[in-house]
A = this chain, B = another copy of it.
Amino acid sequence: MPKFKGYFETKNLDPFTLEKAYEALKYERGTVGYYDLPSSSISLCADVKKSLLSSTVFFNTIAIVGIGGSSLGIKAIDRLLRSSTPHAKKIVYFENSDPISIAYEASRIEFAKTLFVVISKSGGTVETLSIFKYLIAKFDIDLKNSSQIVVVSDDGSILSQFSDHYGLKRFIIPSNVGGRFSVLSAVGVIPLVLAGFNVEGVLGGAKIFSEQFWARKEEHVLQKAAYYVSNAKVFPLNVLFSYSDTFEEFGKWVVQLWGESLGKRNTRGERVGLTPISLIGSVDQHSFLQLIIEGPLNKTVTFMHIEHSRDELMIPELSLPFLEKSDFVNGESFNTLINAQCKATMESVLQSGVSVDDITWDCIDEKSVGQMIMYYELLTSAAGALLEINTYDQPGVEHGKKILEGYFLNK
């Protein structure tokens, strides 16, 4: 289990606040679907292996056609577990309506050896459908009963109806699981199992964390949510400073989860929300750190690092003339260096008066990934409950979609 340590003051938090958050989550557990995924998705793993793996042996690449909640979580798990899953198949992502990216990704796949997984919760995402059409035309795909296309969508969505019309294999996203909370549903399970990742391990980790939380053994989740929400006006920014490049996509997943869930009008119509920022150490020590240390005290910072790396890459015992100043790390592993950088930076950030907490992963494995996914989902839900908002919708983005359609329909 990752270790969680908060350096901010939680003694003054009203115990009633923690109870309120816990009870709110317990209450919504009956209707909000993601809480149940660590259990319910286990059988999905078995299903996929039984129904799809044998008929899809031909492919060496999975092409995800999806955006936002339909790609960020998959990318996060893919990146975190890639180096420890060397046999995993290549996954390419068709996300953005950017023509340069689409052309580039299309050039990276060999059509005959590619399985396309088309993912859209609503079924109507304009980027996803436009790119899908482009791929159909480019590769002259015969849709009828195609074994090269798998669809993941809400039951009854237009994409699901399309899928059934052509006899395509399809999987359902439970209607009460929101896009950004869907990584442990068919959205993540289907492509990641097909690629050869140990998804059961991820689900197992999520289940452990979930059970601990409901047993009131992870009270720090509620404490952190309560601290962040009660200080939202003082610290409107929450920084996640992760020490490893492999957290890049995980950080983007957290940004979507936190930003899109909490940036809302509350029950009294007031604009509330907390702004997430994802940084990577040590790189961003050479960029954003100065602002944290000497800029306005409007940020909390969560440091995240990995205690044990699988790659024991060493800094050689090499003393070079004039560069002896750097010899203090000679003979150390790069993992020791990056962890020491995390610790030293945390110490100096703490000393500058910033609210800090620290998450230590023992190592990057399936279990930890699952635990941390569930940790961030529960943290988001708890913060949402305390902000008195609907954590699971995104009404603010609909207007732009309408404007977009108007441009073309009124041409």
Contact = CB atoms under 8 A, between A and B. Distances in A.
Main DSSP-derived SS at the A contact region: helix
Interface in A321-379: 321-323, 325-326, 328-330, 332-335, 337-338, 340-341, 343-345, 347-349, 351-352
Interface in A264-278: 264-265, 271-273, 275, 277
Given A133-B318, A340-B408, A334 B102 contact: yes
Given A133-B318, A348-B399, A294 B323 contact: no
A314 B102 CA distance: 11
A409 to B, nearest CB: 6
A246 B96 CA distance: 11
Interface string A301-314: 00000000111111
Contact of A338 (B97, B288, B335, B352): B97
A237 B60 CA distance: 43
B260 A275 contact: no
A293 B312 CA distance: 45
A290 B403 contact: no
A401 to B, nearest CB: 8
B397 A289 contact: yes
Given A102-B313, A325-B124, A332 B287 contact: no
Nearest to A341: B404
A252 interface: yes
Contact of A162 (B298, B323, B330): B323
Contact of A271 (B280, B285, B295, B309): B295
Given A129-B326, A295-B275, A316 B97 contact: no
A255 interface: yes
A249 to B, nearest CB: 12
A297 interface: yes
B97 A321 contact: no
A287 B178 CA distance: 13
Contacts of A161: 321-322
Contacts of A237: 237, 275
Given A298-B236, A326-B124, A98 B245 contact: yes
Interface string A379-401: 00000000000000011110111
A83 B325 CA distance: 41
Task: Count identical subunits in the complex.
Answer: 2
A409 B15 CA distance: 44
Interface of A: 67-69, 72, 83, 95-104, 124, 126-127, 129-130, 133-134, 136-137, 158-159, 161-162, 165, 179-180, 236-237, 243-246, 252, 255-256, 259-260, 262-265, 271-273, 275, 277, 280-283, 285-299, 309-316, 318, 320-323, 325-326, 328-330, 332-335, 337-338, 340-341, 343-345, 347-349, 351-352, 394-397, 399-401, 403-409
Given A126-B337, A343-B407, 16 more contacts: A72-B287, A96-B283, A97-B338, A98-B246, A124-B325, A124-B326, A129-B326, A130-B334, A134-B334, A136-B320, A158-B325, A159-B323, A275-B298, A290-B395, A328-B405, A344-B404
7 contacts: A69-B286, A96-B283, A102-B334, A137-B316, A237-B237, A264-B295, A285-B400
